Chains A and B, each alone.
Chain A
Amino acid sequence: MSKPTALVQGTLYLLILKILDLEPRTGWAISQRLRQMSNETLQASHGSLYPALHKLEHEGWISGVWRESPGGRPLKVYSLTSAGRCQLQVEAANWTKLSSAINGILESA
């Protein structure tokens, strides 16, 4: 199954939102950026990226617009909406809380 576990799914949303916070990108560009930023550790299956993108678009956190590429091909470019910006803050805060909690457990145990 290409469906990632719940934890990864949530993180994937966070990462996509974070990447789009810098500038609008296509799905492929997001996947490239994901690979680069995490030093190739986070090699999310490209397949699971698109359902996530569509989900985020459906929630209204990102919006996709069709644009002409320099080569003349139509590309769907995603950008963060204002609601998405709020969501990013919420998810980032959640993540910080969660990771520090896990770190705490790992260090004390």
Chain B
Amino acid sequence: MRYLRKLRLMLRAAVRRPQVECEMQAELAAHLDSETRDLMARGVPAVDARRRAAATMGRLDLIQEECRDARGVAAWEHLKQDMVFGVRLLLKYRTYSSMALLTMALGIGSTTAVFSVVDGVLIRPLPFADPDRLFHATDLNLRGHFDSVRDWSRLADYAGHLGVRAFNTRGRDWPERIQGSEVSANFFRVLGIAPMIGRDFAPSAERPGAQHTVILSHAFWEQRYAAGRDVLGRQLLLDDVPFEIIGVMPAGFGYPAPEANFWIPMRLDARAIGDYWGASAVSTFARLRAGVTPQAARAELRAFTPRVHAMFPWRMPDSWGLDLTLTGMHEDLVHDARVRSLLLLGVVALVLLIAIVNVANLMIGQTAARQSELTLRVWLGATPGRLARQLLTESLLLALCGGLLGVLLAFGQLELLKHWLPADTPRLAEVTIDLRILAFAAVLSLGSGLLFGLLPAWRARFRQSSHGTEDLRATMGRSGRRTGAALVMSESAFATILLVGAGLLLHSFWTLLHVDVGFRVESVITAELSPSRAVAASLDKTVALFEQIRSKLAAYPGVQNVAAMNRLPLGPDISATTMAIEDHPLPPQAGQFVLWTTAVTPESLDTLAIRVLQGRGFTAADRKGAAPVVLISRSTANRFWPATSPLGKRIRPVWQGEWSTVVGVVDDVKSYSITGPPDWVDGEFYVPLAQAAFSPSTLALVARVGGVPGEFQKSLPRLVRDVCGTCAVNKVELMKTEVSQAVATPRSLAWLVGGFALLALGLAAAGIYGVVSHGVLRRTRELGVRLALGASPGSVAWLVAGTSLRYLLAGALGGLAVSWVLVRFIRSLLFGVGGHDWISFALPPLVLMVVALLASLLPMLRASRIDPARSLREG
């Protein structure tokens, strides 16, 4: 309350200044008047009385000034003066101000842009009602399990989705592929969001025989239906099945992924046993009911496990389903994006720190250049506090202008970031620069201004207290050198940390790029083929269709091999089967064997140059009805039959009675990821497409082409459509492109951090240049003496740079020590590179030294060319 009052008085003093001034004068006049009257009443003559009254009063102008001080008017006045003066300074010293502003803008801009990403990804709550009560149920992904738990639970409402996948729909000329998500009927209700127009799914929509209904995303509705209100009741053809449009979601809703154009009910059919109990497809989440703790919900979930266990059509291991757990939905969504975003935030924070050090350095140089002005001020009676306040005001002004520029820059940088950040960064589309981010930028700018302004301001006081009138240069020398050393050391430490980080990520990326994927990458073209549902539903028809396409494509000049697989190696789809393996009975506690599964046509191994190490590859004779056969990978053979030949051994999917015989062993291939198979996989096998357990809904075509593949790549869709008018053809790519997609995330991270490290290096170089050239300026007279006494120009130049380089090295060593500790935070992002990789630790100091030497060249040259006679005369 008191502060409010005080502020009101201060504001009144500042805003209604004329009135306040007038009142003050009236008050003092009234006093004089009363005093005069009093004296006259005591018999003093009128002329004398007025003079004596004035004498008791003292100097009126001084009193008025003190009254203004007491009311806090002076603070406003000084602030205004300092601001005006600061603006004039910025305008006068253009080089200095543009350097400082640019540096600040880069620092604030980068930090603001990255912070907006961190805010959007990590901080902002999920856009659902009561997001804190939403939990992801890990490992609850069988339809049968999900269906039962949802039915039984009393503590939480469970819902699920099958992720996002593509469907065929009718395009203008050819079938198109559009992405959508299959969800449980209660999906939207549990998330707490309702269609903007139309209605939600009926509870029975997921049961067999239900009417096919679809809900559109807002963006898809606008783009495909021109946001027409009459869309309800119309039909959308998905994989040749008509779906009735019953609703449109509000704008911005894009769960489970922003690519989802529509949602259809997932199928829950207890009679389709393989699908219902064998396919790990559902991502399940739960909304806890009021007052239920996550612990209670988890306990309930685990308590259901024995009941579900008993429902399985085949025996599950005893350990199955015991470690089910619930994680916060936000946390689950963010998972490894957390480390990445925080890493980037740390990186830009370091860039900002370097920027602040640079500006502090610039300001110190500037104050040194303004020495005569500052000395004059001291002579004229400026108090140390007043001088420090002026310098601080100037730096805050600089910081605010820099921050303003930085925010403008941040808008551009955010667009670049959205483009460059790994595409799998969750919620990236939601990231914007809003008022909160702007407030963050303002606080950041002011904080930076304080940081880089305090140093020169403190030094101004310091100099003052040791008497401004003495030889200023003498006091400047010592403290100037000390400050310069501190600046160089901190700058080089920050830059070193960044360079080490960038080095580790780039080295790791380099290693990833040079991993042998184990299959042919050059001159291979791939395409995604999606036949109509009528074909895709039948394995025979799919195989027959492929035969037709194969003969058509193989006739094209230069095409050597054409093959098809259920998925591309390194592709995004998961293809794993729970298998029983002969001679390997499972102990009751053990988990099932899960084998990575690839269905291939016989030509595939040749096309992709996957070597057959033992036995034989597939032939055309391995068709449906023939004896079922499989190939296994070398590491699978080593794992299950290390001592004996695996040929003739048998494996089968757990839900299938018929065994398949191992007829060959092929070399290991990076199927799942460049970094190797996931830890939940026990091995890998190949099955002839004609004998596959399921008919794949899409086929990956792979063709090996001699010569220039570009022509064939362009013609491929047309060639396929000549054979199959109802097939959608997508993603016609070079295998090289597909493989490079697999390292997209580490690549973008390495480039981003590398880019920021480069920026930091540039800033550090500018800073070191500043310190060294300032040093030359400061020591002109000393260097002149040295030259006059016979020092060689080279040794003088070295003297100038040598000191800075020593501090630089000290700073770099400090940076290395800090990096050594910090490395553990990014270890999860590294592949094939130890956290304490010696190259990444040895290179940064070297790079920094070279860059610093380059930055020092010009001032060194200047030092060696000092004219002793002139420097002594002028100094």
Contact = CB atoms under 8 A, between A and B. Distances in A.
Interface in A47-87: 47-48, 50-52, 54-55, 57-60, 66, 73-76, 83
B41 to A, nearest CB: 12
A28 B5 CA distance: 26
Q: For A29, A58, A66, which residue has the most chain B Cβ atoms within 10 angstroms?
A: A58
B586 to A, nearest CB: 82
A28 B31 contact: yes
B26 interface: yes
A60 B6 contact: yes
A100 to B, nearest CB: 30
Contacts of B10: 58
B31 A27 contact: yes
Contacts of A26: 30-31, 34
Interface in B1-16: 2, 5-6, 9-10
Nearest to B27: A76
Q: For B10, B59, B67, B69, which residue has the most chain A Cβ atoms within 10 angstroms?
A: B67
Q: Chain B interface: which size bin?
A: 20 to 34
Interface string B48-68: 000000001111101100110
A83 B23 CA distance: 24
Contacts, number: 80
B70 interface: yes
Contacts of B72: 58
A73 B33 contact: yes
Per DSSP, chain B at the interface is helix
Q: For B6, B33, B70, which residue has the most chain A Cβ atoms within 10 angstroms?
A: B70
A66 B23 contact: yes
A57 B9 contact: yes
B28 interface: yes
Contact of B27 (A27, A58, A59): A27
B59 A47 contact: yes
Contacts of A3: 66
A83 B3 CA distance: 12
B71 to A, nearest CB: 5
Contact of A46 (B5, B56, B66): B56
B674 to A, nearest CB: 70
A47 B67 CA distance: 10
A54 B31 contact: no
Contacts of B38: 32
A28 B27 CA distance: 9
A52 B2 contact: no
A46 B71 contact: no
A50 B28 contact: yes
Given A58-B6, A76-B23, A50 B67 contact: yes
B69 A50 contact: no
B34 A46 contact: no
B547 interface: no
Interface string B288-302: 000000000000000
Contacts of B69: 51
Contacts of B71: 54-55, 57-58
A60 B67 contact: no
A45 interface: yes
A46 B29 CA distance: 12
Interface in B352-410: none
Given A47-B59, A51-B66, A51-B69, A60 B5 contact: yes
Contacts of B34: 26, 28-29
Contacts of B27: 27, 50, 76
A59 B56 CA distance: 26
Given A58-B72, A60-B6, A83-B2, A28 B67 contact: no
A32 B24 CA distance: 20
B684 to A, nearest CB: 80
Nearest to B29: A73
A41 interface: no
Contacts of B57: 45-47
A28 B63 CA distance: 15
B35 interface: yes
A4 to B, nearest CB: 11
A77 to B, nearest CB: 10
A2 B35 contact: no
Interface of B: 2, 5-6, 9-10, 23-24, 26-28, 30-31, 33-35, 38, 56-60, 62-63, 66-67, 69-72
Given A46-B58, A50-B28, A74-B30, 12 more contacts: A2-B58, A26-B30, A45-B58, A46-B35, A47-B59, A48-B58, A50-B66, A57-B71, A58-B6, A58-B71, A75-B30, A83-B2
19 contacts: A2-B58, A2-B63, A3-B66, A26-B30, A26-B31, A46-B31, A46-B35, A46-B57, A47-B58, A50-B24, A50-B27, A55-B70, A58-B71, A58-B72, A59-B2, A73-B33, A74-B26, A76-B23, A76-B30
Interface of A: 2-3, 26-29, 31-32, 45-48, 50-52, 54-55, 57-60, 66, 73-76, 83
